Structure 1
Amino acid sequence: MDTPPLSTIELRHEPGAPVATLLLDRPDKLNALTPQLLNEVIAACDWLNGADDVRVVVMRGAGRAFCAGFDLGAFGEPLGPAAQRDQADLGRRATNALADVRPLTIAAIHGHCVGGGVVLTSACDLRLAGDDARFLIPEVDLGIPLAWGGIPRLVREIGPALTKELVLTCRPFDAVEARDIRFVNRVVPTDELVATADRMAAELAEKPWFSIRQTKQHVNAVMDEIAGLGRSTSEADVLISAMADPESVEFSRSYLRRRGGS
């Protein structure tokens, strides 16, 4: 089965191989997220759900960073109400597709991992970080709440107090802290990150698939009971409201000015 046509991500898989790679492939933009990229993540997950030979997927970013968050320019085009809501909901749909995809997923994180990139990694089953990884959740400083199911996923992974701290203060944290708060499983030298992730994927792919699959489903079911994602369906409306709130809009403009944006 041929992989789907994609332009902002790359899905690498040799026919019959048990391991695939999902590469965020906008290196000139530090793999910033666009509606097209999020739609392609959904399409890649749909393909993976039908690829019976794939047992493990490694997700990583091309170039100098894993993901610089969402591309504000790409999300700023004027749209009608229905299209605007669909676009605001894309991140949640892509994150859910990644969390629910049939194979095991391993995120291999290097360089910057920002905002929506943090949420995408939180949907993966396992997370490895290079020692140069730097995490940041800047949404509140941008005048918008963290959406895409990010809050319940972070609460499940690191607990409510740390979720509030990292989301509300918008302070960066490095790979070692990410490991210490149990957001990532392991920190490795960045130049060994890809090889380590591929080796872990190959080892997991050799284990009995029934037990691997049942363990993933069981853990995910338990996590849904701890902090479910049911409320996340309304987050698109909250994002749209934030974009119309005068104080939120001014915070967003101020943040972009400080960062050299428009």
Structure 2
Amino acid sequence: MATQIGATEKDTREFQTIKVEVEGALGRLILNRPERLNAIGATMLLELAEAARWFDRHRELRVVIVSGAGRAFSAGADLRDSPMGAVNADHSWLYRREVGQSGLRAADALEQMHAVTIAQVQGYAVGGGLVLMALCDLRVAADDAVFFIPEIDLGVPLAWGGIPRLVREIGPALTKELVMTCRRFTPAEAKAAGFLNRVVPADQLEREVNQLAAQLLAKPSVPVIITKEHVNAVTRVMSAGITSFADGDALLGSIGEAESRQAARNYTKKALGAEREL
């Protein structure tokens, strides 16, 4: 729907799990499942990909702020609504692979958006939530945000294009450590590694992101867009050979292993127990 606010038209679209809006040159994408700490399920993945296409239809749009409603950016893949939970042996290989690739397709769509994207990160950014951050051009986090990548504890590899994107952003050694150990790390460590642009007090996060967006919007649009595309082209060349085309296959292979299934059960039991205590 579109409504008129002053001289600027505001456009919004209804989704189940996210909120999107565009007002002039500024857009917002809000993960909107605060009761689930904005966990990313099968529905959200489809909606994120569609939202990226919707944003690209706004020719005047130049900056999109990506944030999470409530007290978390995103708790990562939803253990209750995982795309892989819909897969069983009765489905065809093509169907299973398409489900497995849904996260990668959403990630690619968001990363390839025309507008400059800014991640506004508070609370937890876990697993797939951290990958969502990596898709954004710029990243600002509250100083009390919490980061970790629990996929291996769940018995699966990090997917959604997460490995090549993290290697691109923080290098191979730190990527291996953070993914293989599943340890928590701080915004200060993430900034020192080059993953974050800014770390600010939590009560200043929204203002800092809005100011950064305003700085970008005040610049000539063409060289800003060219700079985004130029940097992305350089990083693609630098990471040639590090691809994620078969993330879905890797996920399908992992969930078939008894050891992985047991790890997932253990982690899910622990995570759901902690969730009830929150």
* Identity, % of aligned positions: 46
- 1:230, 1:87 → 2: CA distance? 22
Give 3-state SS (helix, strand or coil) of 1:3's partner.
strand
Matches within 5 A, 1:1-262: 2-14=11-23, 17-75=24-82, 76-79=85-88, 80-81=91-92, 82-228=94-240, 231-260=243-272
Equivalent residue letter for 1:9 = I
The Cα of 1:257 is off from its aligned counterpart by 2.5
- 2:96, 2:14 → 1: CA distance? 25
- 2:114, 2:96 → 1: CA distance? 30
Number of aligned residue pairs: 259
Q: Is the 8 A contact 1:4 1:43 kept in 2?
A: no
Q: Which ranges of structure 2 fall in alignment gaps of 5 or more residues?
A: 3-10, 274-278
Equivalent residue letter for 1:86 = E
Equivalent residue letter for 1:94 = A
Give 3-state SS (helix, strand or coil) of 1:121's partner.
helix
- 1:77, 1:255 → 2: CA distance? 19
The Cα of 1:260 is off from its aligned counterpart by 3.7
Equivalent residue letter for 1:52 = R
Q: Is the 8 A contact 2:140 2:198 kept in 1?
A: yes
The Cα of 1:3 is off from its aligned counterpart by 3.5
Q: Is the 8 A contact 1:11 1:23 kept in 2?
A: yes
Q: Is the 8 A contact 1:25 1:31 kept in 2?
A: yes
- 2:241, 2:57 → 1: CA distance? 25
- 1:154, 1:112 → 2: CA distance? 18
Q: Is the 8 A contact 1:142 1:248 kept in 2?
A: yes
Give 3-state SS (helix, strand or coil) of 2:226's partner.
helix
Give 3-state SS (helix, strand or coil) of 2:99's partner.
helix
Q: TM-score, normalised by structure 2?
A: 0.89
The Cα of 1:228 is off from its aligned counterpart by 4.0
Equivalent residue letter for 1:12 = E
Change (3 A) 1:220 1:118: same
Give 3-state SS (helix, strand or coil) of 2:243's partner.
helix
Q: CA RMSD in A?
A: 1.5
Q: TM-score, normalised by structure 1?
A: 0.95
- 2:252, 2:87 → 1: CA distance? 12
Q: Which ranges of structure 1 fall in alignment gaps of 5 or more residues?
A: none
Structure of larger gyration radius: 2
Q: Is the 8 A contact 2:87 2:99 kept in 1?
A: no
The Cα of 1:78 is off from its aligned counterpart by 4.2
The Cα of 1:123 is off from its aligned counterpart by 0.8
- 2:22, 2:58 → 1: CA distance? 10
Give 3-state SS (helix, strand or coil) of 1:214's partner.
helix
